[in-house]
Amino acid sequence: GAKIIEIQVFNKNKEIIKTLRERGFFPTRPLYTPSSTTTHHARTMKQNSEQTSISNLQETTAGATGVTTDMRVIVPLQGVVQGGGGLVLGSIIPCALFYFFQLYLKGKSRSDDDPVTPTPPPLPEISPPLERVHSIRSIWSPRGTNGQAQVSSRANSVIKQPDSPHYVGLKRASEDPYDESSNSDGIIQLGLDENKLSLDLVQDWLVEHTNCLIFGQDLRMNGITTYHPFDGLSELKMAVAGFMSQAMEGRVLFDPSQIFLTSGATPAVEMLAFCLADSGNAFLVPSPYFPDLDRDIKWRTGVEIIHVPCRSSDNFSLNTTALHRAYNQAKKRGLKVQGVIISNPSNPVGNLLNRETIYKLLDFATEKNIHIISNEILACSTGNESQQEFVSMAEIMNSEEYDRNRLHIVYGLSKDLSLPGFRVGVVYSFNQNVMDASKKLLRFSSVSSLAQRLLISMVNDSRFIRKFLKINSERVERMRNLFVSGLKNLGIECMESSRGFYCWVDMSGFIRPYSEKGEFELWEKLLNVGKINATPGSCCHCIEPGWFRFCFTNLKEKEIPLVMERIRRVL
């Protein structure tokens, strides 16, 4: 049954539409309405404030391109009613009538259907119509007797998250994980880009060095337990600066005083978003991009993401025409673009930005006077060095060819050092204002001193780090080759320029129909029948259906044939 309720606003009254557009009421993808809370709370007009409607809109994946020609619009009725202006009100009544008419028709047709099979999990960002009716009705109903204190609309948007296949898959795989001996029928996790291949190296080092470390040389806890600078101990900053240089093969030197440590790359990205953009502003992000970015950027900051779609015909590389187009479209929508967020190497595609593209991006940012955030968290997971070179934004920052006040790097130890549990992320910036703000903002997400002490010693052991980087790189490369050739034997192609812990795989030949729906069905089959969790391209906002991200660093070598067999079963 149809899950999208569309209202086709006929172009009678252009004035009204113009006003609505200025208020952002015309997203290009269907709106995701906030589901009512789990118990049946009546939502009153007071609670469905303008804030609610605004956050609704920010739920839309604003596809900057591909605006459909006929105006498919979902008017967040409750919000619009609240919003002032008779002009707006004047458009509601015809909309509302039309809406209810549609509902009536749909209700009628549904009752004529055969008994419905359990509805499949909804596509991302669409809510079942029933809840919609409930919330609409509540406008005219008196305040509920339940009187439950409501949570904020920000919280409401957070609750909706897990419906996306990315999160559903992760959850399922963690509840029913594959284990060779105890659960051979379990789900093999290919959706989490973690690197388990070289954990033994880190483990060995830690076991060898641990006892003297936690307490420092003189076995005293002093200095570890007290408050310390929120942006990290300076010794760790120095160690991390050295590590980052090493990871990028000594091509760039990192200055420790421009480093800020956070409890993971997630808060690092969010913090930059808070610093560089106000609520209602936007960032341009080339798609496909990793699913968590939606959460990191949008959840609490109120900042929007505008997609800059990349295509397979370009090998998913960043196209400056697309950048300009996205920027202009944002402008038309009245959104102020504050910056561009790139990941290099790219997640999920795995390719590297070449020098030429980087310069074009820098020119673009200079022209528009905006920032660039470069997420380089997978920097040393680059496989073979003899292939394409990795150009870090830091190189540009050091060269001073461009104003480095607009350049910022996000980094972390979770990927390159396989230590996500330690929660260490890095913000690297020369912008004095960002630095000042960060020092204060980091109180909300600083790294445990215990973890810092431990890491100082580990990261300073450059012999170990060299060995680790070399062996890890070899293992990742080996696993990738095995995985890619395994897929090739099944007739499945991967993006050739793959880096990182995953393959960006083209399954478009196996989906029917050639659409998001077809892709979703394949994802489901892979999960339920093949017992494999992979990330479908739609979660990464890829505009071409059929692409999947498979992470292979969670596997052991001998599990690869099993994985291939399971994929074959599904196809």
Partner 1 sequence: MAIEIVQPSVAGLSKIAVSETHGENSPYFAGWKAYDENPYHEMHNPSGVIQMGLAENQVSFDLVEKYLESNQEAASWGKKVSGFKENALFQDYHGLLSFRKAMASFMEQVRGGKARFDPERVVLTAGATAANELLTFVLADPGDALLVPTPYYPGFDRDLRWRTGVEIVPIHCESSNNFQVTPQALESAYDHATSMNMKVRGVLITNPSNPLGATIQRKVLEEILDFVTRKNIHLVSDEIYSGSVFHSNEFVSIAEVLESRNYKDSERCHIVYSLSKDLGLPGFRVGTVYSYNDQVVTTARRMSSFTLISSQTQLLLASMLSDNEFTEKYIKINRERLRKRYETIVAGLKKAGIECLKGNAGLFCWMNLSPYLSENTKSGELEIWKTIMEEVRLNISPGSSCRCSEAGWFRVCFANMSEETLEVALSRLHEFMDRRRRDRNLLSVL
What is the pattern of x (binds partner 1, CB under 8 A) and - over residues 454-473?
Answer: x-------------------
Q: Cis omega (within 30 of 0) on the bond before 513?
A: yes
Q: Which of residues 259, 276, 484, 532 is near partner 1 by CB under 8 A?
A: 276
User: Around Cβ 92, how many Cβ atoms within 10 Å?
Assistant: 16
Nearest to 294 by CA among 280, 283, 310: 283
Pull the structure tokens for residue 244: 């980052």
Q: Contact between 547 and partner 1 (CB under 8 A)?
A: no
Q: Contact between 451 and partner 1 (CB under 8 A)?
A: yes
Total interface residues for partner 1 by CB under 8 A: 86
> CA-CA distance, 308 to 289, in Å (whole number)?
10
Least separation in angstroms between residue 449's CB and partner 1 is: 4
What is the pattern of x (binds partner 1, CB under 8 A) and - over residues 18-57?
Answer: -------------------xx-------x--x-x------
Distances from the Cα of 133 to the Cαs of 79, 106, 122, 185, 545, in angstroms?
14, 12, 17, 41, 31
Nearest to 407 by CA among 358, 359, 374, 364: 374
Distances from the Cα of 35 to the Cαs of 79, 128, 132, in angstroms?
14, 9, 8
Residues 318-357 that bind partner 1 (CB under 8 A): 338-339
Least separation in angstroms between residue 240's CB and partner 1 is: 15
Span near partner 1 by CB under 8 A; candidates 200-208, 249-257, 383-391, 472-480 = 200-208
Span near partner 1 by CB under 8 A; candidates 5-13, 28-36, 110-118, 212-220 = 212-220
> CA-CA distance, 1 to 479, in Å (whole number)?
43
Element (H, E) at 506: strand 502-506
What is the pattern of x (binds partner 1, CB under 8 A) and - over residues 473-492?
Answer: --------------------
Of the two residues 264 and 286, which places its CB atom closer to partner 1 in the complex? 264
Of the two residues 418 and 533, which places its CB atom closer to partner 1 in the complex? 418
Of the two residues 352 and 426, which places its CB atom closer to partner 1 in the complex? 426
Least separation in angstroms between residue 150's CB and partner 1 is: 8
The H-assigned helical ranges of 286-354 are 292-298, 320-332
First to last CA, the chain: 26
> CA-CA distance, 7 to 136, in Å (whole number)?
15
DSSP string, 54-78: HHHHHHS---SS---SS-EE---HH
Q: Contact between 183 and partner 1 (CB under 8 A)?
A: no
Residues 388-447 that bind partner 1 (CB under 8 A): 403, 405-406, 414, 418-424, 431, 433-434, 437, 440-441, 443-447
Of the two residues 19 and 448, which places its CB atom closer to partner 1 in the complex? 448
Q: Contact between 449 and partner 1 (CB under 8 A)?
A: yes
Residues 214-233 that bind partner 1 (CB under 8 A): 214-215, 219-221, 224-228
Q: Could you tell me where the beta strands, DSSP code E, fall in 232-348?
A: 259-262, 282-287, 304-309, 337-343
Of the two residues 21 and 154, which places its CB atom closer to partner 1 in the complex? 154
Least separation in angstroms between residue 392's CB and partner 1 is: 20
> CA-CA distance, 69 to 338, in Å (whole number)?
28
Q: Which of residues 12, 196, 251, 478 is near partner 1 by CB under 8 A?
A: 196
Burial 32-54 (b: 16+ CB within 10 A, else e): bbbbbeeeebbbbeebbbbebbb
What is the pattern of x (binds partner 1, CB under 8 A) and - over residues 234-273?
Answer: -----------------------------xx-xx--x---
Least separation in angstroms between residue 336's CB and partner 1 is: 10
Residues 122-181 that bind partner 1 (CB under 8 A): 147-149, 151-155, 158-159, 161, 174
